[in-house]
Amino acid sequence: MEDRDSGRRGLLSDFEADSRAMLALLDGLLVGAGALLESPGDWAERLSGDHASPLTERFIEQLATEWFDAWPPDALCAAVTEQVRAHLSAWHPGWPHLWAHILRVTGLAVTLAEDVDLDPALAYLVGICHDVAKLDEFRTSLPHEEAGASFAAGVLQGHFPPETIAAIQAAICKADDGPLARILFDADKLDKIGAAGVIRRVSTGTSRDWLAAALARVEQDADYFPPMHFARSRALARDKRAFLARFLPLAEQALGF
C-alpha cells in the first residue's frame, strides 16, 4: 500500500510539474500584439528565465522547424519589404503581431516556391504584400486583399511585365488558382496551426482569461484544416497537427478545462 501511495504521489508530482511548466510557457506567450518578436530566436529569448523548462525548449524547437527565414532574395524585394514595414507601423500599435505573421508566411512561401521551381522572388513579393493592408480595414471599407493588391501594383510598377504584376495581384486577391495563389494559400493556412498557430492566437492577449478562447481557435483551425497543394505543405501540416495533438491536451489540463 505504501509503495502504491508513493507511486501515486510521484505521478501527481509529475503532473503538477508539467502543469506548472505549461502555465509558465503560456504566461510567456501572452505578450500582447505590440510586442516585436520577429524570429524563433526572439521567442527563445523571451521565454528564457522564469518561463524556461524542457517543455518550453521543446516548444521553441518546434517553432524553429516551422518558421523559415524570410531573407529578401534581391534588392527590389528588400526595398518592398521596407515599404511594407513602414506602411504597417505607421499608425496601428498592433502592427508587430501582423508583421511576424507576414514574415512567417513569406519565408514558407519562398521555401515552397523553391520546391516547385518557381521564382522565389515572386513568392517573396506575394508573401510580403499579402496582408500589408490588413490593419487598414479598421478605418476603411476596402477589403484588405484588394488594397494589398493595389499596394503591390504600385510598388512593382516598372519592375515586372504587366502580366507578372497581374499574377501577383490575383494571388493576393485569391482571384485565381495559379502557382503563386496556391503557394500563398498553403503558407497562410499553415501559419494557423502548430507552434506558429499557438503564438499567432495566444500572443495577442496579456491575461490568462484570453487563453481558453485562443487555444480553442487553434484547435478549431486544426480540426478544419484544408487540403494542401504541395508535398512540403502536406508534410508540414502533418507535423504541426501531431505537435498540437500533444500540446493542446496538456495545455487544457493545466488550465483546468
Expressed as residue numbers, the domain containing 231 is: 2-66+192-255
Do 131 and 142 fall into the same domain? yes
Clarify whether residues 182 and 221 are in a common domain. no
- Report the pLDDT value the prediction gives residue 152, as an integer from 0 to 100: 98
Are 89 and 115 within one domain? yes
pLDDT at 16: 59
Q: What is the DSSP letter of 209?
A: G
Same domain, 120 and 170: yes
Measure the CA–CA gap between 81 and 83, rounded to whole angstroms. 5
| 159 and 102 assigned to the same domain | yes
Query: Phi and psi dihedrals of 58, rounded to 5?
Result: -65, -40
Q: Is 160 helix (H, G, I), strand (E, B) or coil?
A: strand
**Pair 113, 173 in one domain:** yes
What is the residue-level pLDDT of the chain in tens, covering all 257 positions? 444 444 444 433 455 568 999 999 999 999 999 999 999 999 999 999 889 999 999 999 999 999 999 999 999 999 999 999 999 999 999 999 999 999 999 999 999 998 889 999 999 999 999 999 999 998 888 999 999 999 999 999 999 999 999 999 999 999 999 999 999 999 999 999 999 999 999 999 999 999 999 999 999 999 999 999 999 999 999 999 999 999 999 999 999 98
C-alpha closest to that of 189 among 215, 226, 216: 226
Residue 148 — left, alpha, or beta (φ > 0 → left; ψ -120 to 50 → alpha)?
A: alpha
CA distance 118 to 110: 9
**Claim to verify: residue 48 and residue 133 sit in the same structural domain:** no
Given 165, 190, 215, the domain boundary residue is 190
Report the domain count for the chain: 2
Q: Is 52 helix (H, G, I), strand (E, B) or coil?
A: coil
What is d(CA 257, CA 251) in angstroms, rounded to the nearest whole number? Answer: 9
Contact criterion met (CB below 8 Å) for 50 and 110: no
Domain boundary among 145, 173, 190: 190
pLDDT score of 257: 81
DSSP3 helix / strand / coil % (the chain, rounded to 5)? 75, 0, 25
Same domain as 88, residue 8: no
Domain closes at, from 139, 163, 190: 190
Q: What is the CATH number of the domain that holds 157?
A: 1.10.3210.10
Q: How far from chain centre, in Å, is Cα 257?
A: 25
What pLDDT, on the 0 to 100 scale, is given for residue 17?
65
Instruction: Identify whether residues 184 and 197 lie together within a single domain.
Output: no
Statement to judge: residues 134 and 202 lie in one domain: no
Q: How many residues does the chain have?
A: 257
Predicted pLDDT at 253: 93
